[in-house]
C-alpha cells in the first residue's frame, strides 16, 4: 500500500509521478463536460424549474414504482442475496462524467474490489442529464471488468430526464411511462411543462450494444425501483432516492419507516448526505419527519449513513443521546469534478470537532488544486498558484489547527497567500467567520466548480470498501489520483471500524 495524502505530498499525487494507465480504458474520444457551458446548464435546467414551479419528482417516482410493482417487482422492494456472514462491497458516488477523473478511479477500484460481492453507485450515475445514450461510455465501459453486480440509487442529474435512462438500465429495461394529461393553462405546472427538458425520442438506441460490455451472468443485477433495500449477510443496506431537490415523498417515507424496522444492523445509502460541509441536513420527508430522524431511532439499528451528491469524502462520527456512535459519510468522489474541501469551516457540529472529522482531499490539497486552476483560468498563475505547503500552512492558520500532513521546512504565510486563500473561499473558525463570506464561498465552489477543466493528475477521487462480519464493519476510503503509484497500491485515506454488537 502506498503513502496516503496524510503521509506525504507525493502520496497526495503532487510532484512528477508517472501517470497511470487509466487512459487505456477510455474511449478514443471522451466527452468533455464543462459546467460553464451555457448549453450544458440549459440542458440541466429541470432542477431550477422544479424549485420555481413545483417539484414533480414524487409523483413521477410513484408512477415508476407502480409500473415496477405491476411488472412483478417485490412489494417490499427488498433484494435478498445469499452472501455469507463475512463479505465485502464497494460504494462509489457521483461517477458518470465519462472522462479522465472517472476512468482514473477504475484501476484502483478493480484492484481493491476484485473479491467484493457487489457495488453500489450512490447518486448521479450519469452526467449531465441522465441520458440513456450516455450509459455506454459512462457506466458499461468503465466498469466492464468489475465481475460482480452493481446496484444504484439515482441523483438529481439522473432525474433531469425523468429517470427514464436509469430505469431502463437498472430496473429490467423498464418501458417509458405513458404521457400524463396536459396541465391546465396558466398554472405553475403548465409553465413548468413548457420549459421542461425531456429525452430525445430515439434516446437509448445504443443501449443493447452497450449492455454487451457487462453481459456476464455474475455481473447482472435487477433492482425493484429507484429505492430499495439489500439483505446481505448480517446487514441490511437501504438505498433511498432523494430526487431533484433532495427530499423524500410520502410514499417512499412510509416504505423507509417500514423497511427500517427490526434488529438487523442497517446502512443507509442516499443521494443527499445528512451531514456535509460542517452542517446537518436531515432531509425532509413529505408529510412530516426527516430521514435522519428515522436513522437515529434506536429501534431501527442504523450504524452508518453514506451519501453522495457532494464530490469529495467527509466523515462525521456523531455520538447520539443514547451513547451510540453513528458514522455519517459523504462519498461522492467517484468520478465527477471535485467539490472543494478547503471551504469547509472548522468543524463543530453535533459534538463532532476537528479532532474527529475526516475529509479527502485534505483542505490544503484542495486549496492548492483550486489555486492552480484559477491561475490558469484567469491567466495569473504567478499570483494565484499556491504550493501545497503554502496552502496547508494558510489552512492551519485560518482554522487554528495543526497541519494534517507533517510539514517539511517552515513555510511563510505571506499577504499574497492569505489574499488568495480568502478569494477562493477558504473556511475559517466559526467565531471568526462573517456572514458575507458565505455567498462568496458558494459562488466559488458551485458556480465556478473546476468541472473537468483539468485532465492531468492529481484528481483527488475516491471510493469506499466495506468489509462486513457479524461483529463489525470495516469502512475504508481509498484514493485515486490518476498517478501510477496509486493505481498499483491504492492508499487508504481514512478507516474506521463500526461495531455491530
Per-residue pLDDT reduced to its tens digit, 258-274: 999 999 999 999 999 99
Residues 218, 116: one domain? yes
Query: Count of residues for the chain?
Result: 501
Which residues lie below 8 Å from residue 77, measured CB to CB, with a gap of 6+? 224, 225, 227, 228, 229, 255, 259
Q: Does residue 355 fall inside a structural domain?
A: no
| Local confidence band at 165 (pLDDT 50, 70, 90 cut-offs) | very high
Residues 331, 368: one domain? no
| Local confidence band at 16 (pLDDT 50, 70, 90 cut-offs) | confident
Q: Give me 304's grid cell.
A: 452508518
Cα angle at 22 between 102 and 143, to 5 degrees? 55
For position 274, what pLDDT does the model report? 97
Q: Which of 292-301, 384-393, 406-415, 483-492 has the lowest mean pLDDT?
A: 406-415
Which residues lie below 8 Å from residue 425, measured CB to CB, with a gap of 6+? 340, 342, 343, 437, 440, 441, 442, 443, 444, 445
Residues 256, 389: one domain? no
Paired with 138 in beta bridges are none
Residues 221, 281: one domain? yes
For position 409, what pLDDT does the model report? 64
Single residue among 406, 440, 474 that ends a domain in this structure: 440
Q: Does residue 263 fall inside a structural domain?
A: yes
For residues 44-71, average pLDDT: 94
The enclosing domain of 114 has a CATH number of 3.30.750.180
Cell numbers 419507516 correspond to 257
Residues 277, 382: one domain? no
For position 75, what pLDDT does the model report? 87
Return d(Cα 380, Cα 393) in angstroms, integer: 21
Residue 393 has pLDDT above 60, yes or no: yes
| Local confidence band at 449 (pLDDT 50, 70, 90 cut-offs) | low
Residue 254 has pLDDT above 50, yes or no: yes
For position 34, what pLDDT does the model report? 77
The domain containing residue 415 runs over which residues? 363-440
Q: Does residue 223 fall inside a structural domain?
A: yes
Residue 495's SS3 state is: strand
Residues 321, 369: one domain? no
Residues 408, 314: one domain? no
Cis status of the peptide bond prior to 124, with omega within 30 of 0:
no
Residue 439 has pLDDT above 60, yes or no: no
Paired with 483 in beta bridges are 19
Residues 122, 207: one domain? yes
Q: Does residue 175 fall inside a structural domain?
A: yes
| Local confidence band at 396 (pLDDT 50, 70, 90 cut-offs) | very high
SS percent in the chain: helix, strand, coil, step 5: 30, 20, 50
DSSP code for 453: -
Residues 139, 214: one domain? yes
Q: Which of 162-166, 312-316, 451-455 has the lowest mean pLDDT?
A: 451-455
Q: Does residue 1 fall inside a structural domain?
A: no
Q: Does residue 348 fall inside a structural domain?
A: no
Q: Could you tell me how far CA 189 lies from the centroid of its own chain?
A: 30
Phi, psi (5° rounding) for residue 89? -145, 165
Helical spans, DSSP H, in 144-198: 164-170, 188-195
Return d(Cα 234, Cα 230) in angstroms, integer: 11
Q: Give me 414's grid cell.
A: 505571506
For residues 91-119, average pLDDT: 95
For position 411, what pLDDT does the model report? 87
For residues 364-373, average pLDDT: 94
Percent of the chain with pLDDT over 70: 94
Residues 24, 85: one domain? yes
Residue 435 has pLDDT above 50, yes or no: no
For position 408, what pLDDT does the model report? 65
Nearest to 219 by CA among 123, 139, 308, 329: 139
For position 441, what pLDDT does the model report? 47
Residues 157, 195: one domain? yes
| Local confidence band at 403 (pLDDT 50, 70, 90 cut-offs) | confident
Q: Does residue 249 fall inside a structural domain?
A: yes
Return d(Cα 66, Cα 61) in angstroms, integer: 9
Paired with 305 in beta bridges are 268, 328
Number of independent structural domains in the chain: 2
| Local confidence band at 433 (pLDDT 50, 70, 90 cut-offs) | low
Residue 31 has pLDDT above 80, yes or no: no
> pTM of the entire structure?
0.95
Q: Give me 347's grid cell.
A: 468543524
Residues 145, 30: one domain? yes
Q: Give me 19's grid cell.
A: 501517470
334 within 8 A of 463, measured Cβ to Cβ: yes
Distances (CA, A) of 477 to 24, 51, 153, 330: 25, 34, 20, 10
Residue 109 has pLDDT above 80, yes or no: yes
332 within 8 A of 310, measured Cβ to Cβ: yes
Nearest to 311 by CA among 158, 130, 461: 461
Residue 451 has pLDDT above 70, yes or no: no
For residues 93-98, average pLDDT: 92
340 within 8 A of 365, measured Cβ to Cβ: no
Residue 440 has pLDDT above 50, yes or no: no
Q: Which of 14-18, 93-97, 237-241 has the lowest mean pLDDT?
A: 14-18
Paired with 478 in beta bridges are 463, 492
Amino acid at each position: 500500500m502506498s503513502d496516503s495524502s496524510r503521509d506525504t505530498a507525493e502520496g497526495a499525487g503532487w510532484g512528477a509521478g508517472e501517470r497511470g494507465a487509466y487512459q487505456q480504458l477510455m474511449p478514443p474520444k471522451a466527452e468533455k463536460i464543462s459546467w460553464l457551458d451555457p448549453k450544458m446548464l440549459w440542458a440541466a435546467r429541470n432542477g431550477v424549474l422544479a424549485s420555481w414551479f413545483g417539484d414533480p419528482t414524487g409523483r413521477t417516482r410513484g408512477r415508476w414504482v407502480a409500473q415496477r410493482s405491476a411488472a412483478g417487482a417485490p412489494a417490499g422492494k427488498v433484494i435478498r442475496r445469499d452472501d455469507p456472514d463475512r463479505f465485502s462491497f464497494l460504494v462509489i458516488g457521483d461517477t458518470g462524467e465519462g472522462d479522465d477523473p472517472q476512468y482514473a478511479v477504475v484501476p484502483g477500484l478493480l484492484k481493491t474490489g476484485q473479491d467484493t460481492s457487489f457495488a453500489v453507485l450512490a447518486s448521479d450515475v450519469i452526467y449531465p442529464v441522465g441520458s440513456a445514450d450516455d450509459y455506454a461510455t459512462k457506466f458499461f465501459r468503465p466498469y466492464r471488468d468489475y465481475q460482480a453486480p452493481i446496484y444504484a440509487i439515482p441523483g438529481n442529474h439522473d432525474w433531469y430526464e425523468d429517470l427514464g435512462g436509469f430505469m431502463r438500465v437498472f430496473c429490467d429495461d423498464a418501458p417509458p411511462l405513458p404521457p400524463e394529461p396536459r396541465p391546465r393553462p396558466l398554472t405553475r405546472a403548465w409553465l413548468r411543462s413548457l420549459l421542461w427538458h425531456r429525452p430525445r425520442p430515439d434516446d437509448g438506441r445504443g443501449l443493447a450494444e452497450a449492455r454487451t460490455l457487462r453481459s456476464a451472468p455474475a455481473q447482472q443485477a435487477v433492482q425493484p425501483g429507484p429505492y430499495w433495500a439489500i439483505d446481505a449477510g448480517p446487514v441490511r443496506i437501504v438505498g433511498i432516492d432523494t430526487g431533484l431537490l433532495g427530499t423524500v415523498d410520502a410514499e417512499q417515507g412510509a416504505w423507509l419507516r417500514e423497511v427500517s424496522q427490526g434488529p438487523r444492523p442497517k446502512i443507509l445509502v442516499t443521494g443527499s448526505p445528512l451531514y456535509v460541509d460542517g452542517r446537518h441536513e436531515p432531509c425532509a420527508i413529505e408529510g412530516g419527519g426527516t430521514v435522519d430522524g428515522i436513522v437515529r431511532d434506536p429501534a431501527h439499528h442504523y450504524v452508518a449513513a453514506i451519501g453522495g451528491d457532494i464530490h469529495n469524502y467527509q466523515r462525521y462520527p456523531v455520538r447520539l443521546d443514547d451513547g451510540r456512535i453513528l458514522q455519517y459519510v459523504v462519498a461522492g468522489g467517484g468520478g465527477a469534478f471535485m467539490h472543494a474541501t478547503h471551504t469547509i469551516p472548522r468543524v463543530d457540529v453535533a459534538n463532532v470537532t476537528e479532532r474527529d472529522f475526516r475529509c479527502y482531499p485534505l483542505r490544503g490539497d484542495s486549496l492548492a488544486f483550486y489555486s492552480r486552476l484559477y491561475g490558469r483560468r484567469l491567466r495569473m498563475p504567478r499570483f494565484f498558484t499556491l504550493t501545497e505547503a503554502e496552502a496547508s500552512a494558510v489552512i492551519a492558520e485560518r482554522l487554528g489547527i495543526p497541519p494534517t500532513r507533517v510539514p517539511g521546512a517552515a513555510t511563510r504565510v505571506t499577504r499574497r497567500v492569505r489574499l488568495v486563500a480568502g478569494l477562493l473561499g477558504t473556511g475559517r473558525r466559526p467565531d471568526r467567520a462573517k456572514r458575507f463570506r458565505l455567498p462568496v464561498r458558494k459562488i466559488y465552489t458551485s458556480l465556478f466548480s473546476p468541472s473537468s477543466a483539468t485532465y492531468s493528475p492529481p484528481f483527488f477521487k475516491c471510493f469506499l470498501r466495506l468489509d462486513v462480519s457479524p461483529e463489525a464493519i470495516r469502512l475504508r476510503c481509498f484514493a485515486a489520483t490518476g498517478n501510477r503509484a496509486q493505481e498499483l497500491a491504492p492508499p487508504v485515506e481514512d478507516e474506521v471500524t463500526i461495531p455491530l454488537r
